[in-house]
Structure 1
Amino acid sequence: MSERAGGPGSPDGAAPEWAGWMSPSRYDEFIDLCADALAGHGVRAVYDGDGVLIAEDGTNYGLDNLSRIVRAEPPERWPQVVGAFFDSITDRDGAAGPIDPSTVFLSCQPREALPGPLAPALTEVLPGIVLVPAVDRPTSVEKLFGEGERTRPLGGLAGLVELGRRNLARVRFEQEAIIVDHERPDSVVVAIGADDPYAAGRLGVLDAVVPAAHRGDVGIVVAAPHQGLLLVHAIRGAGMVPALNGMLRFARAQYASAPRALSPHLYFIDADGGVQRITGPVADSELGIRVEGPFAAALQRAGMIDQASRAGEEQA
């Protein structure tokens, strides 16, 4: 059983709001699985009562994102899913050998699921999504979040990120062009996947995935609902309305159901590389497209602001 430090738990024994879909017994099982998985890596942690395991060194392990991942899995698979999650985020610097440079690629991690503060050498590739170096192993992926003896020979985390970019840019990927509205050929959304677990990590090598010549004059909209999928739409005309509405519906569904979830949101990347999240709460939808800020300004310059104002009208 996990050690618990109390917290704002419900007086009737129910799970807290972030885990409200679990029964009390499943909630207790989930917390114990998480604590046991950390203990398997030599990390003793105390549960704060409301979604965070606090290690003896002060590292906080948030469980909200993991709860969304296990929700899509049958309870009998929870031990494997929880174990794999903590395998990916636990610093195993002292447990593994030297890093083979040819095995370094790029992965993504929700900032809220980082095992500690964001390292200076790591950056958000999208708001709330951190690009991290990842070591490819035969049966798992080891994400690296901190500096250590193993990272120094390869230039630290900064050097590993650049190494990951070079390696990943050379790896083949698959793409499928989907015309969302067949009456509008400019409503194309490209779905990018791969035989490797680094589809979302290709946000770090976007020039190799979507060359500048294919992005149009306005910019692109991307979504990374989970590690195995990247969606891209190049804005070229009124077809962006069905394209973005379709992207958002699909991203939300994938985020809710797929393992290794990242984000249900859409993000605008302008011609200069600026990034903006363009989805959020709207009046008639839990999550909808918001035409504001740099996104609205870019569309205004392109004479597309009127079409864009219709985005979100078809949200389910």
Structure 2
Amino acid sequence: MGLFRRRKRGGVVHPTSTPTPAPEPDAAFPFFERAAADRFRSLVRETFAEAGLPVVVHPGHAVDAEGREFGLWNVAAICSDLHERNWRATIEGHVDRVLSSWEAPSGFVGLEHDEAHFRAYSRLMDPAGVPRLDEHPHQEFAPGIVELIALDKPDSIELFDAERVKEFGGFAALRASGIANLGQLQVEQVEHVDTGEATFEVLGGDSVFTASLALLMPGLAERLTGRRATEHGWLLCLPDRHQIAWHLIEDAGVLAAVNTMAGFAAQAYATMPGPLSPHLYWWDGSSYQQLTSIADDGRISITVGGRFQAMLEAVTRGERG
């Protein structure tokens, strides 16, 4: 599942009279050293050009002359586990697949109404990763996370734009189908994490819709663990599209869970494919509040105030009796 996992680097460290500073990780691809990430981006630029599509390569993505964006996280993560001599072939395969998917007809061509609803899934995404977000009907799930409607075909996933949403019955109708279809997804792996100080649950899976199962909370938690949410709500993090973590708040154990889950969210977001959000959230009874912020140097801050502070006082006061 990737819980607390970091990629390991081989090699033996030999002591020297003058310690060599550790290479600085790349900001966009932290599993690369900065110099290696720059070489990777250079190869991406060359490969796209050789395929007849010049692009401008930014730290974490590429953009062509028409403004189309190409995410690079997944192929970068794959290359980070390979010898550098194998990067070019891997990138060429990625570019070929991207360009081939454009040449294939849209999944919406010839799509009937019933099939559109059968294949519709509500999907949670980082708004920064959705090109032309304003052209796709959506709503905020939590700060920095939006819910859209995706069409899941055997060989592709496409987002419903405004025209398609209107054609197939509107956002509310498609969302109802999307939520129902999420409920039919097979649950792949659930892990109860107990660090000795904090406990929380992690659901992981290979589906790109795994994190979107958070839309089924708190019913999801009850179905998988048999425990119901209390009036105090729950903590939630969605570090990447393949993982959800939550803690149902019952007592003062929430204090340790906040700190542990904040670290888990930031680490998984930085190291796992398909990053979604590095933050920890609290369901306050009507919406999600973002509890964390992350400085440029990686330091995590937790905001405790307002209703969250009142909730913490209530659960700790209850334990003191």
With normalisation by structure 2, the TM-score equals: 0.68
The answer to whether the 8 A contact 1:237-1:304 is kept is no
Letter in 1 for 2:202: A
Tell me the distance in 2 between the aligned counterparts of 1:270 and 1:111.
23
Range with bigger deviation, 120-129 or 295-304: 295-304
Letter in 1 for 2:123: S
**Structure 1, gaps ≥5 residues long:** 1-15, 308-316
Cross-structure match for 2:292: 279
> 1:305/1:143 Cα in 2 relative to 1: closer, same or farther (>3 Å)?
farther
Candidates 214, 219, 223, aligned match of 2:237? 223
Identity over the aligned pairs, expressed in percent?
A: 23
**Partner letter of residue 56 of structure 2?**
Y
- Matching of residues 71-220 of structure 1 within 5 Å: 71-74=76-79, 75=87, 76-79=89-92, 93=106, 96-98=109-111, 100=115, 101-119=117-135, 121-140=137-156, 142-148=157-163, 150-174=164-188, 176-182=190-196, 187-194=198-205, 196-211=207-222, 214-220=228-234
Name the counterpart of 1:235: 249
Matched, 1:298 2:303: no
Aligned CA distance change for structure 1 residues 301 and 51 (closer, same or farther; 3 Å): same
* Aligned residues: CA RMSD: 4.1
Contact 1:266/1:277, CA 8 A, preserved across alignment: yes
Q: For 1:71 and 1:270, how far apart are their aligned partners in 2?
A: 37
For residue 47 of structure 1, what is the aligned residue in structure 2? Answer: 56
1:7 aligned residue? none
CA distance in structure 2 between the partners assigned to 1:84 and 1:158 by the alignment: 33
C-alpha contact (below 8 Å) 1:181/1:243 kept by paired residues: no
- Paired with 1:284 and 1:134, the residues of 2 have a C-alpha distance of 35
Q: Which amino acid counterpart does residue 129 of structure 1 have in structure 2? A: I
Paired with 2:298 and 2:192, the residues of 1 have a C-alpha distance of 25
Q: Which amino acid aligns with 1:276?
A: Q
CA shift for structure 1 position 158: 4.2
Please give the TM-score of this superposition, normalised by the length of structure 1: 0.69
- The CA deviation string for residues 112-138 of structure 1, in whole angstroms up to 9 with x for no partner, is 111113347301212112222222222
Moved more, 249-258 or 283-292: 283-292
Q: Which moved more, 1:99-108 or 1:218-227?
A: 99-108
* Count of residue pairs brought into register by the alignment: 277
CA contact (8 A) 1:226 1:260 kept: yes
Local SS of the residue matching 1:214: coil
> Offset at 1:249?
3.0
TM-superposed deviation, 1:173: 2.0
Are 2:266 and 2:278, in contact at CA under 8 Å, matched by a contact in 1?
yes
- With over 3 angstroms needed to count, the CA separation of the structure-2 counterparts of 1:283 and 1:119, relative to structure 1, is closer
